Structure 1
């Protein structure tokens, strides 16, 4: 017993050496199952399993990946060295340094003087124009371009700069004007950016300077995230390090600018006039070629002047080259380039071609009896010879009453409707029946009928004048009330466009088939075919003469490859003689600051599309066809764009937008000069009401780079298009150029809504959509829909006042609205040069 009490049970774990046999669970891996799976399959021709189809899909070895990375680094380094090669040497091209103040209290010339003194460069105290500097310490030539705190002046200078230096005040504030200034520079595209602070030691105590610089850096970094450090002009070491960085670091550049050949104009020499009465003459521009190589066959654009052909290009020897030439026995001839027979012309549109009309096109068009739906006119056949199908009618029913019965509704037990109830489930809508009396031929609607036309602005107070209660208003008070009425009406239209987009109401006295003669129906806006033959009578005269680019990617690639084969290499100092420059520009236009070479076809006009994004902080939306000022690369245009929905559709039909609301994106379409590539666009709007184009405004565009007194221009002569000072413009959004397309259809949609008057299962009697029986028959082919998603069609007209019966795919609710959509093509408007 004692032994039994002392023994305890011992727990043993499962032995680790125990082997569990794999169960036989082949499932679908049996021989017969594998044979069934392999039926019909062909053995792959690839020798190795998992091998890629093409060499680009094959996995590279570790050594091959290292070699590829090394080649990419070498290519990138060679490219950067080639770009920086034009700045090397005593006679190298000068780096353009834009000095941009962010307030009117900062003097850019004072900042330039401080930077020059930090690297022991003697300053001649230049107070106007550009400042050329030779920095022997870093063996570089610099050209300072001082700007003003002026929007367009800064935009013109920053697009020519390799470096941009912002000069901040120690107590810099960022208000609405500074925000517009910096956002415009950012949206245009900007190269390397740095910033310096002026009068920091005088306005900020020493213990707070580092923290104050950090705060200024964070505030400016919201606009330019690449900004890393702010320098103080009071510190000589900061200024010296900044100049060293500018001279030695590589420039980032601006893509749209560097894809073309461009030049900063140092001097413009007007040639002698052969005849005093001649309207044009030749002008020679002096400067250094930058960007891509210049081709004399391409046109050039001079901001403020226009587009011109090149007569000749002559190389100008630099100072070091002249000394070498003196040491030689025979002077080397100066190079000169002439245009060839392939030189571009100044034609903006294609030449008119006489269209031969065949016999079929001269036959008069058949008169249609119905609206166009997709690509066919339905119900246009003459069915008068077909006898009408008899209906089951109660005894004593008149012809007018017979029109209110359908075959699938009337039966022997429910032919007549009771005024007290609805045995068959009919629901009487809108029981008030104001003054509706169809049998008596009265008005369909009581009181004032809804109309798509706005109330007359000239007869706002007619009711008061007729009663004699109010005296005639004074001219100023009437003008004020008219302005308030227009502003309130525009605001109301914008609110209605958000709540009820594209909905209109026809006037009862207007026939819909006449008012909406240009409109057509579409079963689907995205997939239905658009019949372009119906647009021929309304097509603008010059639309067919616009440039057509069917394969944009292929054409763009060909143009860019052609631009690489320019004759005059970048870094060459040249004199470019322009042909047929108007003499009037000598006194009316400002001194040119830059010149850009146009790529092939960029002078020709096409249908331009911009992907516009409106700023979210705007208070009011922008209406289609409102006047806007856009800057596309080196051009500024005055446009009246047509807004449409963004995206790709199979039929290339896009819905017209009446308003572009803040924070939204749309496609702005107009006709103007072509610009290749994806170029950033700035969109401005006038703060004040627009002036008429022929108002005779004599304001000329401001000088872009300050020059000597001999190059100052007069502002007394009128320009072709009046301009506004930059302070009168506001930046409302940014955009990007899209491929031009003349086949892109912008379809304006109109929605006519009706009221379900009576409902019987799926059959609905609709009123207030049309007000004439002929209109119902004309638009009978259009599909109907409701706000709650029901689809239907017009069954037959009722009476003479536009009532009709419609059949839907389900029961329509009494609070629903029946609608029909109509579409019309909207043509883009032409752009004008804004100078």
Structure 2
């Protein structure tokens, strides 16, 4: 049919969507034809107005708070400025005098702790200047914890080695608002001035890209620097801004009275009174406080004092008060600062930091046949929580070898075995030492006093550590099987696993005694514990009965009780004393893990369980940590040494601390000084962290017949081969296999693999054991300046001698050339 249409049968017709009994919002808008319900419109408009007003109010409060912090209002404490000298030639005293003279009408006062307070009525600002001594690293770190602004001072030659060390330590601890200031550049010539600026900017660019150094050589420079310091935007430091803290302006100590003392231990204690501006948050008299390097303490009382260094803004006064102005000023000068008792401790938080374990609440072993007096062996019941797969693990021990002891004994055995291995090469070392003695004897005439300052035992110990670290890198975790001790006895605590990542390991299995002394915090409960601790501090801000809270910005006197007298023996006026308030539960012991990385300039080997000094946030303590790899898994392999590159996790027993917090690690060197070993950050708490120590037993192929190989040197008894028969074998080239049978009685065994082996391949067997850190926490520790300071003095003396020699040679050369003229 011409012009007729043809209806296709392949066109798809979809079913319309069934909206149900209600209509969608789009249909309702389409049916309304643009009309809006008046009630709903009014309701939505009111809600928007309320939200807009709340946002405007919050924005205004934040703006006023920021302006008050920047302007230095009466309710805010003075800005704390720390002058950090990065070169020995810097004159910090001259810099302080220039900042004092920025406003000649300002009030300048110095506290007993040598903190300089400058209140400028003309500039309407006030600052507190702290000047740590060059070479005193502990004073620098303690002052940097509470500082608002860092002022780094460099000389015409930039930073020296100790300055770079200080800068690395401060950067690892956390840097607030900062600026770089150069000194002594105006006296240089144009060419030397250009070179000095390039050198300084190049050094600053490495750590702070985009930063430029300012000059401080005149009164005009000081006035510009003053305005920049007071108007500099603040940067938050999390570990201190969320809690109350104080830098003391006056330190007093009152020993306990003889009548009130019941024991000689209490007689060595007393009450420490710290006066200063409270910063951060409110302080409750019932909460605990921390003194860095000394531990946690309770407070007995808090007094509030009138501000001894007020900001007096001089301006036009009211004419009606002109007559009484002179008498009022005289009264203000004669009146002493008033003080009143703010709060007295009524229910202080307990200082108990450990759990007292129950001796009877221990794992009980099933009695043996000898204990029951029977000849038949007793069937051991399956332990609760042990699966069928775990029951196949090598858990059987010989008679008299039970698993009740800690893992430290087995680790000591490992160290003894390593020492025995080293003793085999004693003859070579003795020959080398004889050679060394001959060399030193020949050079005795040239350097007679060189050997007097050398510690040979320390030199040998460091050499052995370096050799162990080199062997560990080349052959990780490999251990030789002892000849005089059966392997099933030597490695009785170790077990085999099919897969390190997939095999389940019960975190509550065979825990040591020290785990009963700590508070368990798993990674699933960490966030909840942190919220509860912070919320408890916020709830206590309402006060406790008649006690009032110490508000930030006020000048207070805090009475810290039961402080040892040794605190005042070590205290000096130039050492800053800081105090930090603790959250609830922050004094309780637990397992703490930190992620650290080695400093580039520190090359000495650091072994696990070596004593180290940790500074985590505001805490400083010594401990012997164990190292483990940093990965996202349920088990972590232990590392015997701190690696030269990359991150590693250090675990130890320490008080509860909440992340984020910076970490600094120090170690004592041969000269009884402390070097910066590593820096990093704090990880969330997890007491169920499983750290596994691996031991690799190695053997060599003796005969190879396609996939069947005769292996020797892995074991030396037939019983050991039968004992470790269920464990899988692997090779360095990636082959896998298992033990088929023992051959003879001297440790040869027949093994089968999934492919043919090469003659130069090595057969390995992995054994695993869970390890725990030692209980070595000590809160009483101080940080001495590093050995770099002494090296700098020696280098300066050598440079001075070289300068004198060069000048003398130039004079001689000039006199010689005068003859030809």
- TM-score class, shorter-chain normalisation, is 0.7 to 0.9
* Shift of residue 332, structure 1, vs aligned partner: 11
The equivalent of 2:564 in structure 1 is 582
Q: Which residue of 1 is the match for residue 816 of structure 2? A: none
Aligned position for 2:31: none
The one of 354, 373, 376 equivalent to 1:349 is 354
Aligned to 2:545: none
**Of the candidates 712, 728, 731, which is equivalent to residue 786 of structure 1?**
731
Aligned to 1:314: 303
Equivalent position SS for 1:626: coil
How has the CA–CA distance of structure 1 residues 779 and 663 changed in structure 2, closer, same or farther, with 3 Å as cutoff? same
Q: CA deviation at 1:210?
A: 6.6
What is the match of residue 390 of structure 2? 375
Q: CA RMSD in A?
A: 4.4
1:191 equivalent in structure 2: 176
User: Structure 1 pair 126/347, CA: closer, same or farther in 2 (3 Å)?
Assistant: closer
Q: How far off is 1:351 after superposition?
A: 2.4
Contact 1:464 1:470 in 2 (8 A): no
Contact in 1 for aligned 2:88/2:160 (Cα 8 Å): no
Distance 1:613 1:525 in 2: 25
The aligned residue for residue 778 of structure 2 is 832
C-alpha contact 1:267 1:285 (8 A) present in aligned 2? yes
Aligned to 2:533: 559
**Aligned equivalent of 2:492:** 517
Q: Distance in 2 between matches of 1:680 and 1:357?
A: 37
Equivalent of residue 339 in structure 1, options 339, 345, 349: 345
Shift of 1:90: 5.3
Give the 3 Å change call, closer, same or farther, for CA 208–177 of structure 1 in structure 2.
Answer: closer
Correspondence for 2:748: 803
**Closer, same or farther: CA 71–168 of 1 in aligned 2, 3 Å:** farther
CA distance in 2, matches of 1:255, 1:774: 59
| C-alpha separation in 2, matches of 1:44 and 1:181 | 74
Counterparts of 1:469 and 1:336, CA distance in 2: 74
- Aligned to 1:295, the other structure's residue is in SS state coil
- Kindly indicate whether residue 626 of structure 2 is the aligned counterpart of residue 642 of structure 1: yes
Shift of 1:516: 0.6
Alpha-carbon distance in 1 for matches of 2:481, 2:700? 14
Alignment partner, residue 684 of structure 2: 739
- Structure 2 residue 186 is matched with structure 1 residue 201: yes
1:460 aligns to 2:460 (yes or no): no
Q: Distance in 2 between matches of 1:257 and 1:749?
A: 40
The structure with the largest alpha-carbon Rg is 1
Q: Residue 670 of structure 1: CA displacement?
A: 0.9
Is contact 2:696-2:767 (8 Å) kept?
yes
Q: Deviations over 1:650-690 (max 9, x none)?
A: xx22101112221221111111122212111112223317x
Runs of 5+ in structure 1 lacking a partner? 1-23, 50-63, 382-450, 690-723
Offset of 1:69 from its aligned partner?
Answer: 11
Cα distance in 1 for residues equivalent to 2:424 and 2:506? 41
Structure 1 residue 274 corresponds to structure 2 residue 257: yes
Q: Tell me the secondary structure at the aligned position of residue 133 of structure 1.
A: strand
Q: Counterpart of 2:224?
A: 241
The alpha-carbon distance between structure 1 residues 598 and 204, as it changes in their structure 2 partners (threshold 3 A), is: farther
> Partner of 1:696 in structure 2?
none
SS at match of 1:601: coil
Q: Give the 5 Å matches for 1:533-572.
A: 535-536=510-511, 539=512, 541-550=513-522, 551-565=525-539, 566=541, 567-572=549-554
Give secondary structure in 2 for the equivalent of 1:190: coil
Distance 1:44 1:488 in 2: 85
Which SS does the other structure have where 2:201 is aligned?
A: helix
Inter-CA distance 677–753: structure 2 relative to 1 (3 Å threshold): same
Q: What is the distance in 2 between the residues matched to 1:586 and 1:470?
A: 48
Relative to its length, the structure with more helix (as a share) is: 2
Q: Does 1:231 align with 2:237?
A: no
Q: Decide which of 752, 765, 771 is 2:710's aligned counterpart.
A: 765
8 Å contact kept, 2:592–2:652: yes
Partner of 1:159: 145
- Aligned equivalents of 1:794 and 1:42: distance in 2? 68
Aligned-partner Cα distance in 1 for 2:160–2:658: 36
**Mapped pair 1:528 → 2:503:** yes
Change (3 A) 1:757 1:211: closer
- Paired with 2:767 and 2:481, the residues of 1 have a C-alpha distance of 13
Q: CA deviation at 1:177?
A: 1.9
Q: For 2:435 and 2:251, how far apart are their aligned partners in 1? A: 69
Distance 2:589 2:596 in 1: 20
Q: Distance in 1 between matches of 2:502 and 2:53?
A: 50
Report the number of matched residues: 672
Distance 1:455 1:178, change over 3 A: same
> Contact 2:628–2:648 at 8 Å: present in 1 too?
yes
Structure 1 CA distance, aligned partners of 2:163 and 2:311?
45
CA 1:806–1:290 in structure 2 vs 1: closer, same or farther (change >3 Å)? same
Give the 3-state SS of the residue equivalent to 1:315 in structure 2.
strand
In the alignment, what sits opposite 2:246? Answer: 263
Partner of 1:398: none
Structure 2 SS opposite 1:757: strand
| Contact map agreement 1:117 1:123 (CA 8 A) in 2 | no
Distance 1:629 1:73, change over 3 A: farther
Q: 2:12 aligns with which of 27, 31, 35?
A: 31
